[in-house]
C-alpha cells in the first residue's frame, strides 16, 4: 500500500462528503470543491474518517491511490480553513493598489500592469508592497500567486521584483574591475 494513500483523512463535523459517478464533492463552511475519482479507487467514509482504497495493484492504480487521497485531503482543508500565499514587492518605487476586484502593479516598467481578479480568489493589498492571495482551492491559489510573481520575478543581482514572503533570493556578485 502507498504510504500516502493508506493514511486516513480526518473529517470535522462541518464537512460533508458525497461520492457521485466519478467525482467526490466536498462541502464545508467556506464552499464546495470537486475532486476526481478514478477507476479502481474507492472511498470508505465512517466515524469522521475517510479511507481511500484500491482494488488493483498495477502501476497506474497505485499512482492514482495517493493522488486521490491528497486531492481530497487538500479539499477538506480548503473548505474548512482555506489557503493563502503572501507576495512582497521589493524595489524602489514598486507598489500595488487595488483596482476594482483586481490589482494595479507598478513594478519598474514604463506603464502599470493590471492584474484581473480570478473567480474564487480573494486578493488583498497590505500596505503598498504586499499582496495576500487567498481562497479554498489550493491549486488555484498557488497558480494565481505564481501568475502575479511572473509579472516581475526577482532578479539575481539586486533582488528587485515580486517574490513570495518566505522566498530567499540568492544575490549574485556583479562584475568586478580587475587591476
pLDDT tens digit string along 112-121?
A: 999 999 999 9
Q: What are phi and psi of 66, to 5 degrees?
A: -65, -35
Question: Right CATH number for 9-80 from 3.30.930.10, 3.30.60.50, 3.90.930.12, 3.30.70.260?
Answer: 3.90.930.12
Share of the chain above pLDDT 70, in %: 97
- State the average pLDDT over residues 37-47: 89
Share of the chain above pLDDT 90, in %: 73
Angle at which helix 138-149 crosses helix 59-80, to 10 degrees, equals 80
pLDDT score of 176 more than 90:
no
Query: pTM score, two decimals?
Result: 0.89
Q: Kindly list the domain boundaries of the chain, sorted by start residue.
A: 9-80, 83-164
Q: How many CA atoms lie within 13 A of 92 on its CB side?
A: 1
9-80 and 83-164 in the same fold: yes
pLDDT score of 179 more than 80:
no
CATH architecture for residues 83-164: Alpha-Beta Complex (3.90)
Amino acid at each position: 500500500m502507498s504510504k500516502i494513500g493508506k493514511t486516513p483523512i480526518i473529517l470535522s463535523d462541518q464537512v460533508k462528503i458525497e461520492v457521485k459517478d466519478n467525482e467526490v464533492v466536498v462541502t464545508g463552511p467556506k464552499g464546495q470543491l470537486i475532486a476526481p475519482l478514478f477507476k479502481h479507487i474507492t472511498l470508505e467514509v465512517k466515524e469522521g474518517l475517510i479511507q481511500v482504497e484500491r482494488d488493483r495493484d498495477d502501476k497506474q492504480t497505485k499512482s492514482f491511490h495517493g493522488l486521490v487521497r491528497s486531492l481530497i485531503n487538500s479539499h477538506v482543508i480548503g473548505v474548512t480553513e482555506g489557503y493563502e500565499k503572501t507576495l512582497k514587492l521589493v524595489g524602489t518605487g514598486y507598489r500595488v493598489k487595488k483596482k476594482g476586484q483586481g490589482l494595479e502593479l507598478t513594478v519598474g516598467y514604463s506603464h502599470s500592469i493590471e492584474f484581473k481578479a480570478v473567480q474564487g480568489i480573494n486578493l488583498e493589498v497590505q500596505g503598498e508592497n504586499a499582496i495576500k492571495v487567498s481562497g479554498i482551492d489550493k491549486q488555484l491559489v498557488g497558480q494565481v500567486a505564481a501568475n502575479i510573481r511572473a509579472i516581475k520575478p526577482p532578479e539575481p543581482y539586486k533582488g528587485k521584483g515580486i517574490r513570495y514572503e518566505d522566498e530567499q533570493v540568492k544575490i549574485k556578485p556583479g562584475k568586478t574591475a580587475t587591476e
